[in-house]
Amino acid sequence: MSDMALAIDLRANVVAQSDSEVTLQYALQNSTAGRIYAFDSLLYFDSKGATKLAETGAYVFLDGERTVRVVRGIVAPPMFMSVSRRPPIVGSPVEPGASKRGTIKLALPLSEANPYFPPQECDPKTARPIARLLLQIGWVEHRQETVTGKLVVDGNELVRMTGGWGTPVQRVAQTEVAVRGVGLCTHAAPFDRPQLTQ
């Protein structure tokens, strides 16, 4: 792990939980000497092809017996799938010494979610018990080749990342959150549980 990666701190906790929903709040602290971009704004296309913002959403993947990865970042399509159109990549600028805060709300029981696969209905009776949520947020440092532009989605002004900005494409900050009373419905059809693109 690089010194730069060690200078990014991610903290999270459960702030609300009911029978039907769990809410996480997180803070991504930038202790580096330069600006970073957090890839925590998830965009998708609605049924009419319009770009929309999933303000409190996240990707969800089983990761071991009782751990679920809750992910915000750049996820590549599966090798076996051809994707003709992908939503724009946007980054939240975080200046040195500043924090990027966010909220994630997930329906219970949890259901696995990948942007390249349709959602499936979840039967609570089939949900497996989960003890830990592993929150992962993708980010990258500002580089000389970084090019950005403005993108407005659902009235929100976002920073669009355009062109290539070198490798790694993103770094990953992560933290674990212990949970109780949380279950997960796994995806029954062929499904991909990728790590964040690096």
Predicted confidence (pLDDT) per residue in 17-41, tens digit = 999 999 999 999 999 999 999 999 9
Length of the chain, please? Answer: 198
pTM for this entry: 0.94
pLDDT-based confidence at 197, cuts 50/70/90? confident
| Segments making up each domain of the chain, as ranges | 3-184
Predicted confidence (pLDDT) per residue in 65-122, tens digit = 999 999 999 998 888 888 878 899 999 999 999 999 999 999 999 999 999 998 899 9
> Which residue matches tokens 């957090």?
38
- Residues with Cβ within 8 Å of residue 90, at least 6 apart in sequence: 39, 41, 43, 151, 153, 158, 159, 160, 161
Are the C-beta atoms of residues 132 and 190 closer than 8 Å to each other?
no
Predicted confidence (pLDDT) per residue in 122-141, tens digit = 999 999 999 999 999 999 99
Predicted confidence (pLDDT) per residue in 170-191, tens digit = 999 999 999 999 999 999 888 9
β-bridge partners, 150: 159
